[in-house]
Structure 1
Amino acid sequence: MSDVTTAEFNEEGKYLRKVRSFVLREGRLTKGQAQALESHWPAMGLDYSPEALNLTDVFGRDADTVLEIGFGMGASLVEMSADAPELNFIGIEVHKPGVGACLADAGEAGVTNLRVYHHDAMEVLENSIADGALARVQLFFPDPWHKKRHHKRRIVQPAFAELIRRKLKIGGVFHMATDWENYSEHMLEVMNQAQGYKNLSADGTVVPRPEHRPLTKFEARGHRLGHGVWDIMFERIA
């Protein structure tokens, strides 16, 4: 579980495959997180392989599959999995304590429809997920890289939008959320120019938070302080 990579982009926002240790994101595991990794990884962990997953084999059934990129500590992902037992969920996270926390919560909740990667999301998407395999891709509160000179590091770029489109089935949805209005504008700019998508917003901008995305404690606190959150949903139509 220690070999992960980090995404790198060039000036045009094109993804470059560059392998290096993700030392900064390893963090220190609590005892509970370490125990959860040991106990639940065999059942819920997915070891990276460059071959595409057979999702029917992985989950033991045929069902629509939702993939979340960067699930953090995993609380909302576990909640979504518990609330929608008819769906399969795959989470990807490079922060090892987050993976441990997610597995601990999932074990406590008794969910059986969740699998997790401790790996770079780009590499998983490129190689481990078959084209047209996903019903929904979720990207919630990615690093906003709010300084203008760092905007090229934002994950939502034209090449990324095309990669997600390929992995979604026709009718599948790419769902983004951010608490940085400038990033929401950037997301809309990229996605409105991307081929093969339709914005699900009635006015061509953002959508209300859908019921399937839980309200996080951080977000609820932000609402009380008057901070905004912007949800953006695009459907693959071609």
Structure 2
Amino acid sequence: MTLDLVTIPCRSDNYAFLVHDAGTGATALIDAPEAEPIQAELQSRGWTLSEILLTHHHTDHVEGLEPLRPGARVIGAGADAHRLPPLDIAVAEGDTLTVCGEHVAVLDVSGHTVGHIAFHFPSSGYAFTADSLMALGCGRVFEGTPEQMWGSLRKLRALPPETVICSGHEYTANNARFALTIEPDNPQLISRARAVDEARSRNQPTVPSTLKEELETNPFLRADEPGLKSAIGMSDASDVEVFAEVRARKDRF
């Protein structure tokens, strides 16, 4: 049975996510940007948190944790434990958790930060990627290297294409405008950019997305595509060099 998924807008542009097992009543939260909207959602549904999964240490993903913590076990990266809130369970890539009755794989997706992790729920088809793979984008490379981030994105794009990508921010409209500067003739991207603008005009979220959409339209996943390399004048460059150039252009965009 696929776990229920709820997307919760927080702060100005963050997202938190709830997954819920209707059979057992178990509920997990992925990231805690802000307590109040999460508490309101839990109360409206009559759900109680059993786990809180943290992707990385940045304040806008953890600062709502403490009011939500009582009664829930907190799970995060052991490599990041020195700057995360206190953890009940420390994990690393290759570990498998049981969350809401489902086996969950932990992926190291360092780049945006060193120690950033993602959680893949293969049975339900969800991947919680926070600020690694994002809708039409990827996180700025603050602590890691382009090689690390490109490796993390390649790891995530190897998931099944129907995977639902639950990323951490409502950056999609800006990401779409940038992506069109890289691949202005990509028909899937043109169509998606229009759909994003329509959704945002109605104040609707553009997250989550599917990995299939990202593979077709996200320039950061497509740095090894010959057409993209040609479009930015880097046909003979390595994949990671192209990724680094696209990321640098986005940083200046």
- Flag whether TM exceeds 0.5 (same fold): no
What is the TM-score normalised by the length of structure 1? 0.34
What is the TM-score normalised by the length of structure 2? 0.33
Q: Which has the higher contact order (CA 8 A, sep 6+)?
A: 1
